[in-house]
Amino acid sequence: MPKAVQYRANSIIYFKGDQSERIFLLNAGKISLSYVDTESGQEMRDLIKTGEFFGVKSALGHYAREETAMVLQDSTVMAFSVGEFEQLATKNTRIITKMLKVFSNQLRRIHKQVETLLVGDEQVNPETGLYKIGEYYMKNKRYGQALHAYKRYLVYYPSGAFAADVTAKIVSAEEFLSRYGSGEPPASAAPAAPPAAAAPSAPAAAAQQAKTDGSDLAQQYYNAVSLVSQEKYMEAFKAFKKIIDGQADGEYATKAEFEMAKCLFYLKQFDSCIKSFTVIVQKFPKHPEMKDALFFVARSYEEKGDKARAGGLFKKILTMGTEDDPVIRKVKKALRALEGGQA
Amino acid sequence: MNPAAGPDLSMFNRFMVTFRKGDIIFCEYEPGDTFYLLQSGRVQIVQLMGELEKNIAILQPGQIFGEMAILEEAPRSATTIALDEVKALEFTRENFEPLMMGNPQIALKLLKLFVNRIYEQKRLFMTLTLEDVEARVADVFLMLTERQSLDTSSMDSVELKNTVEDVSRWAGIPSGQCREVLNHFVAQRRIELHPDKIVVKNINDFARFVASRRKHQEK
């Protein structure tokens, strides 16, 4: 049972630093709490109102008192053990709701103070903040998370300052996601830099289509793409072959053919890789991923030791796109490595 | 709340939501009016501080998250990411009050959660006010030891199940700089660095070091 306790003026109920598990409720009188403000370092003093609890946080959290409770005028308080307080609060949840409001304000305040220490006193508005989260994950190649943040941005700020940029980045993030899965790109195919806005590509468009028709074939295709991202190239190769053998939907068979040729490269079957891509390129002279196809052919020649052919092809790819295209950046890097190797 | 041990939440099954591993549950700065009771899987809470993603906490089943948005109309103060496949009960501002009324144990749990979060943030604030980076890292050791509720009066060696990344996030310094400080401590034979843990050989020695730096700073 909680007990009523009388305190005389100028007495101390507890000191800062004391360990105690008692919670108090002021029935009558005048009591103040004095403490040092974490932010300013100033000595602060708050008056307790009649009917108000004090000593709650340190008792519930089992840590030392953070303030000194001083009696200013003769007072009566109710002293509760933690158990007694819990019993009372569960019978009257309004006590808890009220405290939650006070505590959540305190928590926000201390959050802000911590943030100020870490990044300085700049106020980030929520729109910029949300955009920056997308940027952070994009930069760190965490495409799934980047995608989520960007999409949330468009939900709340469809005509916001970054809307156009975000829309373009969603396309890139989807492309990278479908190519590499949500994790890191495999080292051999990693882009030289974080991807910038790129034109919609076949995998991105396909990803959207897969969502709308949700067919088994699409599922099979993306499962196989996921195997590529896990660097399980042999399994991926077999999975793509199964799609082609099924001869069902022409679209996925074509895509699968392309991915199979890529697998051949990773499986170090360079001659077969060159042959497969040559067939694809002849069949589809305007293939949306022509640059990528030629890139793998060039890399295959390089691996075979034919640096002249590899270099010639790399240079050809460079004429097909601009700096903001991830493939172009990848090719530039490969070309530098190739020429550096020759020197 | 472990559904087996805690209050019966089966009547709330219609509020069950599932997230895949790696999914963001909500983003910092996003307006939020939902909070979650984690039923299975782990959830990581992070905050972006400039160019650093700071780890705030990793939550286990039975814990509550997103609770700040429920009480005030304010943007989310952190991002939450599913570390495993996550199942959680999702509540909104509308069904929050009746939930609390009908489940005072949850309300009480929420209250204790707030108390602990406030304490943790205050402790973090104390660490960050240290100007000297070595003292900051040392203070992170002390904070992580405090969280294990160990009595260090009779012992010196402490094993912290934390990584360099964790320490750098708590200390608010880039991981490269943090590694330098840790390597320095290793060279002085004051700590051992393992891939999954840090062994602090004399925690009381670090406590004295931090105390003296604080005192020095106050002058």
A187-196, B69-78, B88-97, B129-138, range with the lowest pLDDT: A187-196
Of A244, A267, A290, the one marking the end of a domain is A267
CA B50, CA A282: separation in Å to the nearest integer?
49
CB A25 within 8 A of CB A77: yes
Q: What residues of chain B lie within 8 A of the CB of A85, using their CB?
A: none
Closest among A128, A137, A20 to A68, alpha carbons compared: A20
Q: Chain A contact for B113, CB < 8 A?
A: no
Contact A149 B74 (CB under 8 A): no
Contact B30 A107 (CB under 8 A): no
Average pLDDT rounded to a whole number, residues B126-133: 91
Q: Does any domain span residue A117?
A: no
Contact A38 B125 (CB under 8 A): yes
CATH of B130-218, one of 3.40.640.10, 1.10.10.10, 1.20.1250.20, 2.40.50.140: 1.10.10.10
Min Cα separation A140/chain B (Å): 11
CA A123, CA A125: separation in Å to the nearest integer?
6
Min Cα separation B112/chain A (Å): 6
Residues A204-245 pLDDT 10s: 444 444 343 445 777 777 778 777 777 788 888 888 888 887
Chain center to CA of B140: 12
CA A44, CA A35: separation in Å to the nearest integer?
5
Q: What residues of chain A lie within 8 A of the CB of B111, using their CB?
A: 60, 89, 96, 99-100, 103
- If asked whether residues A277 and A243 sit together in one domain, one would say no
How much of chain B is helix, strand and coil, in % rounded to 5?
45, 25, 30
Task: Tell me which H or E stretch contains A278.
Answer: helix A270-283
CA B183, CA B191: separation in Å to the nearest integer?
9
Whether the per-residue pLDDT at A178 is higher than 90: the answer is no
AA letter at A62: H
Min Cα separation A166/chain B (Å): 15
A329-338, B69-78, B100-109, B117-126, range with the lowest pLDDT: B69-78
Average pLDDT rounded to a whole number, residues A18-34: 94
Closest among A89, A71, A93 to A80, alpha carbons compared: A89
A175-184, A234-243, B104-113, B139-148, range with the lowest pLDDT: A175-184
Whether the per-residue pLDDT at A147 is higher than 70: the answer is yes
Nearest residue of B to residue A106, measured between CA atoms: B118
Whether the per-residue pLDDT at A315 is higher than 50: the answer is yes
CA A21, CA A19: separation in Å to the nearest integer?
7
Q: Which of residues 14-33 of B touch A (CB under 8 A)?
A: 22-24, 27-31
Average pLDDT rounded to a whole number, residues A128-147: 93
AA letter at B138: A
| Interface with A, mutate which of B114, B116, B117, B124 (most A CBs under 10 A) | B114
CB B116 within 8 A of CB A61: yes
Q: Quote the number of domains for chain A.
A: 4
CB B129 within 8 A of CB A117: yes
- Could you please report the per-residue DSSP string of A98-139? HHHHHHHHHHHHHHHHHHHHHH-SPPPPHHHHHHHHHHHHHH
CA A53, CA A56: separation in Å to the nearest integer?
7
Q: What residues of chain B lie within 8 A of the CB of A103, using their CB?
A: 111, 114-115, 118
Of A267, A288, A318, the one marking the end of a domain is A267
Q: What residues of chain A lie within 8 A of the CB of B23, using their CB?
A: 144, 148
Q: Where are the domains of chain B?
A: 10-126, 130-218
CATH assignment of the domain containing A339: 1.25.40.10
Helix, strand or coil, per DSSP, at residue B67:
coil
Separation in Å, CA B37 to CA A63, B89, B116: 26, 5, 17
Separation in Å, CA A114 to CA A40, A224, B122, B160, B211: 13, 46, 8, 23, 20
Measured between CB atoms, which of A103, A129, A149 is closest to B114?
A103
- The structure tokens listed for A178 are 């479908």
Nearest residue of A to residue B54, measured between CA atoms: A118
Exposure string of B32-66, with b = 16+ CB inside 10 Å and e = fewer, is bebbbbbbebbbbbbbbeeebbbbbbebebebbbb
Nearest residue of B to residue A91, measured between CA atoms: B104
Q: What is the CATH number of domain B10-126?
A: 2.60.120.10
AA letter at B203: I
- If asked whether residues A273 and A253 sit together in one domain, one would say no
- If asked whether residues A16 and A74 sit together in one domain, one would say yes
Q: Does any domain span residue A281?
A: yes
Q: Does any domain span residue A22?
A: yes
> Is ipTM strictly over 0.85?
no
Closest among A28, A39, A111 to A71, alpha carbons compared: A28
- If asked whether residues A247 and A278 sit together in one domain, one would say no
CB B133 within 8 A of CB B181: yes
Residues A47-86 pLDDT 10s: 999 999 999 999 998 888 999 999 999 999 999 999 999 9
For residue A249, what are the domain limits? 199-267
Q: Which of residues 124-143 of B touch A (CB under 8 A)?
A: 124-126, 128-129
Average pLDDT rounded to a whole number, residues B199-217: 92
| Interface with A, mutate which of B20, B24, B25 (most A CBs under 10 A) | B24
Q: Chain A contact for B74, CB < 8 A?
A: yes
AA letter at A194: P
CB B31 within 8 A of CB B75: yes
Task: Tell me which H or E stretch contains A13.
Answer: strand A12-14
What is the gyration radius of the CA atoms in chain B, in angstroms?
A: 20
Min Cα separation A5/chain B (Å): 26
Min Cα separation A100/chain B (Å): 6
Of A267, A301, A316, the one marking the end of a domain is A267
pLDDT at residue B8, rounded to an integer: 64
CATH assignment of the domain containing A85: 2.60.120.10
